[in-house]
Amino acid sequence: MKTPPALRERLASIIAPRRQEMIADLARFVAIPTGNNHAPGLDTFRAILVARLEALGAKPEFIPGDARPDWLTESADASAPKRFDPPPTVVCRRPADGQPRILLAGHIDTVFDPRGPFQTLTLAPDGKTATGPGVADMKGGILIALVALEALEKVCIPVSWSFLLNSDEETGSYASDRALRAEASKHEIGLALEPALPDGGLVIERKGSGQFFIEAFGKSAHAGRDFDKGVSAVYALARSITRCEEMSDLPRGITVNIGPLRGGIATNIVPDYAAAWGNVRFPDAKDAAELAQGLNELNTAHADAEDESSNHRAEPPEASSRTSQPRRPSIRVRQSFARPAKPLTPQSQQLADTIRAVSESLGVALPFGSSGGVCDGNNLQDAGLTTLDTLGVKGGGLHTHQEWINLDSLVERATLLACVLAELFD
C-alpha cells in the first residue's frame, strides 16, 4: 500500500471524535423531506451540501435535468402530482494537478412521501442504531463522504475529486443520466455512496434494470345486454401479462415483474382500456436484448391501435375522449432499459481489491457480493468509468419505514473512504 500507516491513523484520529456531530448532522439531513420530487426539500438539502463542499474549495456546476418518458411519470401514485419537473444535478469540483480524477456520486432523493409520518431520525435505546427516511440510502452515505473530504483537507492531502449530487436516482436517474455519463468521461475512478451489503460488504457486480408499459385497447359494451359486442381490454392485458411471466428465467437471473395495474371502471361494463407497468432485471446485455425483443413481440399489428392509444395516454377510460372504438383488442408496449447491467470487470476487481486492502489495514474485513438492485453505478460503469458503488454506511430496511443505520458505521465508513481516497490519489 502507498498510504503510510501514520497517515491512516491520523485520518482515523480526526474522524473518530466527530461521532456525535455526525449523528446531529444526520438528524438534520433526514428531517429534510426529499422524496417524490419534493422540490423545496431537494433545494434545501442541495444548498447545504454545496455550501459545505464550497468550504473545501470546490466549485459547483448546476446541470439542468432532462425529461423522462411521460408514461413513467403517469405511473406515479395517483395521489401525487402528475407534473414532474426534471431536477438539476450539481457537480462540485475540487481539482488538483489538473482535472479531477476521482468521481464521488450520491443521490439526495429518497422514496418517502414528504407528507407522510416517517420524517425524523429516531435513535434506538441502546444508541447503536437509528431509523429515519433515507438514513442509509443515502443521506448517511453522503454525510460520511463530506466528513472524509474534510479530514483529507485537514491533513493537507490534495486529492483531486468531483462530487456529483443528483436528485432523481430513486426514479431511474432519467433527469441526471446525461450528467452522469458526461462526468464519467472526465474521471478515472468512480465511487458511489450506496449503503453497504448487510454484512458490510462491497457490491462488485449488479444486474441491469428496465421499465415497460403495456396498454390494451378493446371495445366497451354493457356486460349484460351486449357482452358479445364488447372486446375486453382487461382480458387482452391478462394474456400479455401471462406471456411476461413466461419470460422470467430464475436460473439465468432474469426476472419480470408486473405492477401496478389499471383497467375497468365498473363490473357491468366491458372494459375498453387496461394498462400495466412492469420491471425486468437481467445479468448482461445479451439477456437485456432478449427481454426487449420479447416485450416488442407483445405489440399487435392492428391498424387501429395507434389511433386509439393516442386518446388514452395512460389515463383511465373516463378521462379520454373517443371518436371510434377498435374492432378487436390491440396491445402497445413501451419500454426503457435505462440501467444497463454492471458486470465485474478486471478493472473493477482491481479497484475492489485495493479498497479491501485499505479496509483490512484498518482492522475491518470487507467481503464482496453481488446485487439484483441497481443504482447510478450502473450508468457510470456503462459510460466507461470503473466504479464501485457501496462505499456508504451499514444499515438495512431500505425503502421501508424501518430503514435503519448502524451508527458506528458513520465513523468506520468515513475513515475507510478517507483512506481509500488517499490511497487512490497519487
Same-domain status, 227 and 285: yes
Of 425, 423, 390, 417, whose CA–CA distance to 12 is shortest? 417
Answer whether residue 318 shows pLDDT above 80: no
Q: Are residues 174 and 65 in the same domain?
A: yes
Whether 323 and 194 share a structural domain:
no
pLDDT digits (tens, 9 = 90+) for 61-96: 999 999 999 898 765 445 555 557 899 999 999 987
Q: Are residues 197 and 226 in the same domain?
A: no
The CATH number covering residue 227 comes to 3.30.70.360
Last-in-domain residue among 339, 369, 397: 339
Task: State the cell numbers at 359.
Answer: 479496509
**Are 295 and 350 found together in one domain?**
no
On the question of pLDDT at 342 being above 50, the answer is yes
Give SS3 for 104: strand
**Which H/E stretch holds residue 140?**
helix 140-154
Tell me the pLDDT tens digit for each residue of 18-61. Answer: 999 999 999 999 999 999 999 999 999 999 999 999 999 999 99
Query: CA-based angle 14:18:22, to the nearest 5?
Result: 135
Give dist(CA 375, CA 269) in Å, integer: 42
Q: Could you give the CA distance from residue 238 to residue 149 in angstroms, rounded to a whole number? A: 53
- Do 368 and 334 fall within a single domain? no
Residue where one domain finishes, among candidates 324, 339, 354? 339
CA distances from 400 to 11, 276, 326, 403 (A): 34, 24, 42, 6
Co-location of 37 and 87 in the same domain: yes
Proportion of the chain in helix, strand, coil states, percent, rounded to 5: 40, 25, 40
Residue 311 banded pLDDT, cuts 50, 70, 90 = very low
Please state the rounded mean pLDDT for residues 372-399.
Answer: 97
**Together in a domain, 166 and 258:** no
Query: Containing domain of residue 240, as a range?
Result: 208-339
- Tell me which amino acid residue 246 is: E
Indicate if 101 and 225 belong to the same structural domain. no
What is the pLDDT at residue 74?
Answer: 62
- Of 339, 354, 379, the position where a domain reaches its end is 339
User: 94's torsion region: left (phi>0), alpha (psi -120 to 50) or beta?
Assistant: beta
Number of domains in the chain: 2
CATH number reported for the structural domain that contains residue 60 in this entry:
3.40.630.10
- Do residues 54 and 187 both lie within one domain? yes
pLDDT for residue 370 is more than 70: yes
**Residues 138 and 268 reside in one and the same domain:** no
